[in-house]
Structures are given as structure tokens and as C-alpha cells.
Amino acid sequence: MRKKVFICIIGCLAILLFSTLSLAENNSLELVEGDCIKCHPRNIREINERGALHKTEVTCIDCHEEHPPHGKNIIPKCSVCHSPDASSHYALKECKKCHHPHYPKEMDLSKIDNVKPACVSCHPAEGQENRTYPSAHSELDCKQCHSKHGESTACLECHDSHSPEMNDKDCFLCHKPHRPSAIKYDAVVLPALCASCHDETVNAVNERGGAHKSVKCIDCHRQHPPAEKNVIPKCSLCHAPSDKPHYKVENCASCHHPHYPMEMDLSKADSVNSACVSCHPDQDKEMKAHPSEHAGLDCNECHVKHGESSSCMECHESHTEEMTLDDCLRCHKPHMPLEVIYGEDIDTSFCLICHELVGEKMSAVSQTKHHELGCVYCHKNKHKSLLKCKTCHGEPHRYDIHAKFPDCLACHQDPHGLIK
């Protein structure tokens, strides 16, 4: 019994073997897409996970048109799909040095001697930047920064950062990898990053910049050398001549430093009058309305620095040795110095410096209450001004006397030396 069973099994196997061989010899069955995974699961998995267009645009049988042992057209040439006429990149030889057919976008460039010709054939813009803006990067092979396609070596692996706070992302705000020396920024660069190279300048703006403190560096310096030379903008970009007469004055830099514009050394300019009066019209009107020798001077002869004045005593003798600049300004206004104007708090001693004889009369001769009054009581606010007698005294005499002598000084000839 066992012997019969064994013979039957052998017979069935023989029939199956001969049937398979017969089918193979007749090529009666063709391979379909689903057959590949039966023998090549790893390759199918690579394509499904990493194949890029080789997964979505072609099938296994599109590339592998034949299968051994009944065909030798197993691995086609890349040019079958990637015609050299379509791109200079496709005209390169030895594609498999960079591209694996089952995951063509994952390239390990580190194993290739020189990849730049291949890289620039597919990335012409980057190649052009390298040539137009030569730098140390231009001399490198692409793989020295891009060991894998789509990845870059961090800048700080080769370069020292400008400041301890900087990171790789900060580098790209100013430096483009294929033109690193041609600094160009197309994003917001905060002054703190500019300070890493220009600390003195940024500190000067922060400490003394006035309204310029609220402006970012790149708002004014929109370009950076050596890529561009037009790094200092015209003041009129912000200070339009149509806004103020002062903005119409040319050569702003002769007075204003852009980083601390309100600290002006006017001594270096030939003439600043036109600039000064365009911003200080009231002082100009005073000088024109009240001519004096001051009106013939250039503003920088008294104002060497903006907001500061020379001491009067540098040009004029003081009335007394004890007088200070503040004392001068109590009576004399610099832009109309001959119009002596003073406040009610001016001390009589100031008046007596110039009017010594009046002081002697008031103290020695006068026997009336006039000698008890301060000068400004009768001479209010302005030099040579005088109250009318009737302001204080009314009409102390009979009507007929005042009618005959309307001018009190006809009889009381010296108000400072009146005798009771």
C-alpha cells in the first residue's frame, strides 16, 4: 500500500514539472506588475517609500522590459526617459554615480570625485552666482557643503560666528551661500545682528540717535557692500523737501551725522545761516526786525554746536567782573541784543551797573519814596520805558495847575532826585 502511494506522488510531481517546463518553453504566460514583489520585495519597498517620480510615473515593467533567462534588456539606459535634448543635466554620463534608480533623489555626493559639473547643470542659478560673485566658496566642490542632495553643512562648522548669540539661521539673513561675500538681506535683520559687526555704530544710534533710534539699520542701509555701493540713502527718502523748508537745504551731512543727527558741530561748515533759519524762523525774524551787529554774523560764530551758545564775554566786556552769561541774558536777547528787555524780578543792582549816577541821586538826594522803589517799578519790562506819573499819583494838584502844566516833568525835572 505504501509503495503505491509513493509511486502516485512521484507521478504527480513529474506531471507538474513537465507541464511547467512546457509552459515556459511556449512563453504562453507574461509577467505582470504584481508579479515583481514575489521575488523582489525589497526593491518594491524602496520604490514605494523613496522612489519619487519613479514610483508615480513608471512601473517596474516600464523600465525592466525583459527578464532573464529569456531576455537581456533588463536595465535600460536613463536616456530612454531622460533625453539629453531636454536638459544639459541629462547629457551627463554615469548617472548612477549620483542617482540610484529605485530612490533617485537620495544622492550621497561624498563618494564622487567632482560633482560640480553635475550640480550646476541642474542648478544653473547657483552656478551663475558663484561665478558672478567670486569668493572662497566658488573654489569648493559642491559636495564639500552638500554631502547629500538637499542638505547643507551648517555655516558654523566652518566659520566662526560674529557673536556668541548667533545661530545658523541668522547667517542666512545676510549671507547667501553661493554669494557669501555679496551681503544681501531680504528679510528683517534686527539691529542686534548688525551690532555683531558694527557694535560702535549701533551703540551710537541707541545712545545718541534721537528719532533715528526708532529706525532699523536696514531701513536706511538697504544694501550692503561689496555687492552694492549705494549703501547710504538720500535723506530725502524720509525727510521730503515738501514737508519742511529745512529739508530743502542741500548737503545735510555738513551739519548732521546720520547716527547722532542732533549733535551738530557747526564749526566745520562754511556758512550755516540758510540751514539754521530754515528751522528757526522766529530767530531770523527777530534779527531782521531789530538790526544789530549780530545780524551780520554767521550763526556758527556764536553757536559752534547745535543747542549751545558762546559766552557773551568771549566777545563783549561784562558790566562787572562778577557777571555771568545768565546775567547777560536777563536783559539782552541774543538775536535782538539792543532791545533791552527784562523781567519783573530784575534786581536794581543790575540797572545801577550802567546807571551809577542815577543810583547816587536816588540814595543821597531824594527825600521821597522813589528811592524805596526798584527801577522796574517805573521802568517796566523794557529799557527806557516809563510809567506816566498819574499812574501812581493821579492829579495831586488843583485842576488849573494840571491844565496849565500837563507835563509833570516841567516842574519835577528829575524823578530820581526829587526833594520832598
What are all long-range contacts of 129-136, with beta carbons under 8 Å and residues at least 24 apart? Answer: 129/176, 129/178, 129/179, 130/178, 130/179, 132/179, 133/178, 133/179, 133/181, 133/182, 133/227, 135/179, 135/180, 135/181, 135/182, 136/180
CA distances from 351 to 125, 320, 376, 416 (A): 84, 12, 9, 13
The whole-angstrom separation of Cα 177 and Cα 227 is 14
Rg (CA), the chain: 49
pLDDT tens sequence across 118-160: 999 999 999 999 999 999 999 999 999 998 888 999 999 999 9
Locate the domains of the chain by residue range. 154-233, 234-316, 340-420
pLDDT tens sequence across 357-409: 888 888 777 677 888 888 999 998 889 888 899 999 999 999 888 889 999 88
363 phi/psi in degrees, rounded to 5: -90, -30
* pLDDT band of 15, cuts 50, 70, 90: low
Helix (H/G/I), strand (E/B), else coil: 44:
helix
DSSP letter string, 78-126: GGGTS-TTT-GGGG-S-GGGT-BTTBTT--BGGGSS--HHHHHHH-HHH
pLDDT tens sequence across 54-112: 999 999 999 998 888 888 888 889 999 999 999 999 999 889 889 999 999 998 888 78
* pLDDT band of 24, cuts 50, 70, 90: very low
Q: What percent of the chain has pLDDT over 90?
A: 46
Q: What is the reported pLDDT for 19?
A: 47
44 vs 250, more confident: 44
21 pLDDT higher than 50: no
